[in-house]
Copies of this chain bind each other. A is one copy, B any other.
Amino acid sequence: MNPELLLSRIRVVLCRPSHPGNIGAAARAMKTMGLSDLYLVEPKRFPDPEADVRATGAVDLLQRAAVVASLDEALAGCLFAVAMSARQRDLGPPVGQPRESVAQLLAEAAEGPVALVFGNETVGLSNEEVCRCQAAVCIPTDPAFSSLNLGSAVQLLCYECRMTAFAGTPPLARQGVTPFTSPTATADEVEGFFTHLEGVMTATGFFNPLQPGRLLPKLRRLFGRARLERDEVNILRGILAATQQTTRHGRKD
């Protein structure tokens, strides 16, 4: 199924968010990943200028957001919902890793609307709310500091949705320029360079062909690893040639 269509079927439900800044951050996070359907269950302050500021270019999501009185209302019509939970709840659905939970969510999204459900910044979701969902997900933070910001949690799960919808390789931003490359140098071009280099090193006395040691193999190893391009060979040889013209060490005097 079309990845953008799948993503458009995912609602993000924020239950009783305290800080309007987090609502704005969630909207921005959703929009960067191609989600657009925001539900707010009893937000403390909304609409609010702070939400608009943090949303930046995603104010349209705030304007279209559904403000409802209960999680049941937010989930109306949904086939499947995943609760964000910092821990396993007694009687709640089993808590999974982000990637497995998101894979399940997207599989269900192929059939119809689904939801990602987030709790209040301080107290999270109630047990009753978690039990309204068919699955739960925990973002694996450092056990020593698991204080994940609400907007960050939304960002991470929306990102995983996008990664999964595009099978791990969403298209990257439109490329402003083509990266500079030149054709790989042919073996004879590379050999021409090595011969040139050896000549210069010999002429300057840096290399003694009678006592070669391991200098040449070391240089071959270095440039071999770099997989020289034709332009680079030309540049290197230009550098060598320039030293020869300056010092005349390349001249047969």
- Interface positions of A (Cβ within 8 A of B): 25, 28-29, 31-34, 56-58, 86-92, 94-95, 97, 99, 138-149, 151-152, 155-156, 159, 162-163, 166, 168-180
Contacts and interface: CB of A to CB of B under 8 A. Distances in A.
Contacts of A171: 140, 143
A145 B31 contact: yes
Contacts of A34: 142, 144
A166 B99 CA distance: 14
A136 to B, nearest CB: 10
Contacts of A56: 147, 149
Contact of A141 (B32, B88, B179): B32
Given A91-B180, A172-B140, A177-B90, A57 B152 contact: no
Interface of chain A, main secondary structure: loop
A168 B83 CA distance: 20
B168 A99 contact: yes
A227 to B, nearest CB: 13
Given A140-B163, A152-B152, A147 B28 contact: yes
28 contacts: A28-B147, A28-B149, A31-B142, A31-B145, A32-B148, A34-B144, A86-B173, A87-B174, A87-B175, A87-B177, A88-B175, A88-B177, A89-B177, A90-B177, A99-B163, A99-B168, A138-B173, A140-B169, A140-B170, A140-B172, A141-B162, A141-B173, A143-B171, A149-B151, A149-B155, A152-B152, A155-B156, A156-B156
Nearest to A146: B173
In the A-B complex, list the 10 residue pairs whose CB atoms are closest, starting with the nearest: A140-B170, A34-B142, A32-B141, A152-B155, A87-B176, A138-B172, A88-B175, A31-B145, A90-B177, A91-B180
A29 B95 CA distance: 22
A183 to B, nearest CB: 16
B29 A152 contact: yes
Contacts of A142: 31-34, 162
Contacts of A99: 163, 168
Nearest to A29: B152
Contacts of A97: 168-169, 172
